Structure formats: C-alpha cells, structure tokens
Structure 1
Amino acid sequence: MARQLSCGIEFMRGTLLVLNILFVIVGITLIGLGVYIKVDDNFASVLSKIADMSDFSGQALGFLAFVMIGGGVFTLLIALFGCMGALWNNRCFLYIYAFVLGLLMILELVAFIMAFVYKGQLTDVYKDTLSKVFDKALAENQTSVIHAFQEMENKMKCCGIHNISDYGKPPKVPLSERCLAAPESEGCSDAIIGFLNKHLPIIGGSLGGVLLLELFGLIGAIALAVALKHAPEDTLVYKGGRYR
C-alpha cells in the first residue's frame, strides 16, 4: 500500500510540475510581449494609423502592455505555488494553487458567458466606435488613418465601414482600389466580424485548451494534496530521486 501511494504521489508530482512548466512559459511570454509593446516605438507608429495618438497611444497601448505584464506575473505566481507545493509536498500551497485556479476558471467562464449573452450589444459598440474613428478621420482629413482603413479594405475585400456611402457623395477622399473595383462590397465592420466568426473554432479551441490545462492543474493539485494527507509518514521521505 505504501509503495502504491509513493508511486501515485510521484506520478501526480511529475504531472503537476510539467503542467506548471507550461504555465511558466506562458507567463514569461506574456511578460516579454508586454515589455516589448511598452518600450518599442514601432507599435506606437503602427497604431497611430488607426487612432488619434494623442490619447490612444498613452492610454490604450499602455493599458494593453500593463494587462499582458500583469497577466504574465499572475501566471508565474500561480505556477510558483504549484511547483512549491509539488516539490515540497506542501498541502497548503497546493490548496492555494487549486483555489486560485478554480477562481480563475470561474471568472473566465463568466466572461465567456457574458460575451455570448451580450454579443449583440458588444457588436453595436464595436461598429459605433469604428464609425466614429472613420468619420473623424474624414472630417479632419487624417490621411494616415484613412490610408490605414483603405489598406484594410484592400486586404479584407470590403469598402467603407458599412458600405461605400460612408465616404460621402461625392467621396471626400480618393477611394481605395477595392472600392473602385467593387463598390458594392460589404462594409469592413461586417467583414471583420465574418473573419472572426470564420476563425471561431480556432479561438474557441485555444480557450478550451487553456481551460483544460487549468482543470488538469486543479484536479492534480487536489489529488496530490489528498494523497499526501493519507500517505504514511515513511512514504514521504525523499531518497535517491524518489519517495520510499
């Protein structure tokens, strides 16, 4: 019985450590991307084409970097609790790890459900925001923003935000190649939504994979903590690379 317990503990420890190595990689990647966005001027120059940089760069770009860095640090902290709990057979760390993972999964599921329930409202807000940016660019003749929109039109095979009439009659600026070649094309707001819907299985699969990893971590941590609670004291003595 003791040997079975020790083998089970070793297996669960190994599984939990591998899982948390993946969490560490994800955390470091998020921190690296966040820092890169924060310090690299190229991101600002690219985003300046789609919004007014006087308030967009300093707020939205900085917030994006902050969220990525914060998410990476949070992921590393979770992995730290999991690794310490598995390596040191610390049930307290394992329960904290399981609690945080469970809370994170609940928040993610709530966010997913709210996004699904309020999908229509979110779509309306997105279209309205895109229209305001486009109308402002036309009214103030923001050539960089207009050029960025027209590049998007050519790539997404769309015209205007809703349709070609967004440019006015007659058009306030020279039309893009796409609008000239196919003025009846759908608006870019619908084209972007269609693109996201087309790739929804990939997005959903990625999110599902993350939730599955978190579920494995949650179950593994609780199972290891329970096994440690019921394991005889002599099975928890670490000798020669394994528990005996």
Structure 2
Amino acid sequence: MSRKHRQFKGAEVSCCVKYFLFGFNIVFWLLGAAFLGIGLWAWAEKGVLSNLSSITDLGGFDPVWLFIVVGGVMFILGFAGCIGALRENTLLLKFFSVFLGLIFFLELTAGILAFVFKDWIKDQLNFFINNNVKAYRDDIDLQNLIDFAQEYWSCCGAHGPDDWNLNIYFNCTDRNPSRERCGVPFSCCIKDPAEDVINTQCGYDVRQHVELDRQRFIYTKGCVGQFEKWLQDNLIIVAGVFVGIALLQIFGICLAQNLVSDIRAVKANWTPENSEIRSHGQQQQKKKTKQGKMSPF
C-alpha cells in the first residue's frame, strides 16, 4: 500500500475520564479553599496572623488547625487534579495520585494501629482531654469545642467532673479566688427542658456536693467512656463513612492513572513516521484547497 493511501488512527484521551476527574476535583478544590479561608479568617479574628508566635502559646488544641490542615490538603489535591486533568499534565496527575495514595496509606495504617493499640489510644485520648481541660479558658474556639463535646455526649471531664480540678479557674484549692472555684462549665449541667435561656452559672460550687447530689445537677460520666459508647452504638455509620472516603480516594487514583495512561498512549503514537504522515496529509489538503481556489468552475 502506498504511503498516500495509508491512514493514521492514533490513541485518544477519554473525554469522559478527563472531565469527570476535572469535575471531581474542582469540588474538592473549592471546598478546600473554603475551609482554608475559614481557618485563616478565624486566626485573623484572634490576632494570630499578626502575631504568629501566639500559635505555640496555646497550651491546648486549637480547633482552627483542623480547618487549616484539612483545607490546605484538599486545596492542593484539588488544584493538582483539576489543572492536571484539564491541561493533560502528567506531572500534576502523578503528584495527585501519589499524594492521594500516601494519604490513603496513612489512614489505613492509623486505622490498623488504632485497632491493635486500643489501650494506648485510650490513654492518649485521656491525656488529650485533660490537657485541653487545663487550657479551657485560654482560647474561645477550644472552649466551644469542649462545651459542644460535653453537651453532645452528656459527659463532664475525661473521666468525671473532678477532672476540672486541673483547671486553675475550677480547682477547689483555698488559694483559688475565682467565682468558678470547685465548679464545672455550664456544658456539664443537665439541661432543664423548661428553660429557654442557658444558665451559665449552673455549675458553680457543684463539686462541693457529695456524689449523689451532683447527679441531680450535672453529668457525672467521663467523656472518654461516653465517646467509646457512642462509637460502639454508631459503629456501622462510622465504618460506612470511612469506607466511603476510602472508595472515593481509590476511585480518584484510578481515574488519574487511567488519564495518565491515555496521555502516554497518545504521546507514544506521536512517532517520526506518524508525524510525517500527518505532515503529508496536511500538504495534500493544502494543495487540494489551492487547486479548488484556482479552478474557474
């Protein structure tokens, strides 16, 4: 067969995969930008951005870190996947796949370690809560997080109300001049359905009462035990959420790798011979066009 009759049929990039991956990632990119924006706005409101050294001054956990870290990771991944798919950039797509695969591996490892070292995780959770109990009044976001946890799980402290003795405002020592001395935060109080307004002083002096009297006013169970109970009661839902996240990550990796393979196949077909065929075809087309213009009919 002569060269002029040869037809070139090369590999093509799947538009379905390309634009599905683009849409899949643009959602994460925008969500990541929103999370990151909320985190930076919260830090700006607290004056952290104008004094970066204050990041390390907080004794407890700053919830804003969740928005910053999660938002930053989602923003970077979404950007790499979105632009990589749209521009068919194999470098960005490889970065997206490797980064997402690394996150999946870390999540899997953390899940296995948490299952194997249950007691150690429980001790760390206890230490984490007590450490944040000490810093309860140091940061408004931390304070709101602890109040939400105690109200949601109907608990008080890590193991009980006496854990609030670790906080300088709530401890029962005679040297404590605080009005909250020997008390607990209002989030430990058992809510009265008839009250429309929250009584923020309901926990004052409550730990001066004996155990039986306390039970009438505040939650006496610790948050570690209540969290474990909640986890057991909602194990199927929690497991379903984690499995869903894992499947999304695997799906994203597969889409990116599929697109990379398509791009490589297209590049592999771009050989000198194929380039010559394309050039020859273009020249023939130009000649036909030129002849058509020159013809009087």
Give the shorter-chain TM-score range.
0.5 to 0.7
**2:216 maps to which residue?**
180
**1:26 maps to which residue?**
31
Q: How do 1:105-184 residues align onto structure 2 when only pairs under 5 Å count?
A: 105-127=104-126, 129=130, 130-131=158-159, 133-136=163-166, 137-140=170-173, 143=180, 146-148=183-185, 151-152=187-188, 154=190, 172-173=208-209, 179-180=215-216
**1:210 maps to which residue?**
245
Shifted more, 96-105 versus 23-32: the winner is 23-32
Q: Name the aligned partner's letter for residue 60 of structure 1.
A: G
TM-score, normalised via structure 1 length: 0.66
Consecutive unaligned residues in structure 2, runs of 5 or more: 1-7, 47-54, 131-157, 192-205, 275-297
Measured after TM superposition, the shift of residue 57 of structure 1 is 7.8
Task: Call closer, same or farther: CA 1:11–1:122 in 2, change over 3 Å.
Answer: same
Consecutive unaligned residues in structure 1, runs of 5 or more: 42-54, 156-169, 235-244
Shifted more, 191-200 versus 123-132: the winner is 123-132
Measured after TM superposition, the shift of residue 182 of structure 1 is 9.9
CA contact (8 A) 1:16 1:82 kept: yes
**1:58 maps to which residue?**
58
Measured after TM superposition, the shift of residue 196 of structure 1 is 3.2
Measured after TM superposition, the shift of residue 122 of structure 1 is 1.9
Q: Deviations over 1:171-212 (max 9, x none)?
A: 5248798702899x7555422321233233333322222222
Q: How do 1:66-105 residues align onto structure 2 when only pairs under 5 Å count?
A: 66-105=65-104
CA contact (8 A) 1:16 1:220 kept: yes
Q: Name the aligned partner's letter for residue 230 of structure 1.
A: A
Measured after TM superposition, the shift of residue 20 of structure 1 is 0.3
Tell me the number of residue pairs that the alignment of Structure 1 and Structure 2 aligns. 203
Matches of 1:115 and 1:37, distance apart in 2: 31
Matches of 2:238 and 2:56, distance apart in 1: 26
Which has the larger helix fraction? Answer: 1
Matches of 1:88 and 1:139, distance apart in 2: 64
**2:196 maps to which residue?**
none
Classify the secondary structure of the residue corresponding to 2:208.
Answer: coil
Matches of 1:56 and 1:139, distance apart in 2: 29
- Residue identity (%): 22
CA contact (8 A) 2:189 2:218 kept: no
Q: Name the aligned partner's letter for residue 139 of structure 1.
A: C
Measured after TM superposition, the shift of residue 226 of structure 1 is 0.5
Q: State the structure with bigger RCO (CA 8 A, min sep 6), 1 or 2.
A: 1
Q: Deviations over 1:28-75 (max 9, x none)?
A: 24213423543456xxxxxxxxxxxxx99824344x323421331222
Larger Rg over CA atoms: 2
1:9 and 2:45 correspond: no
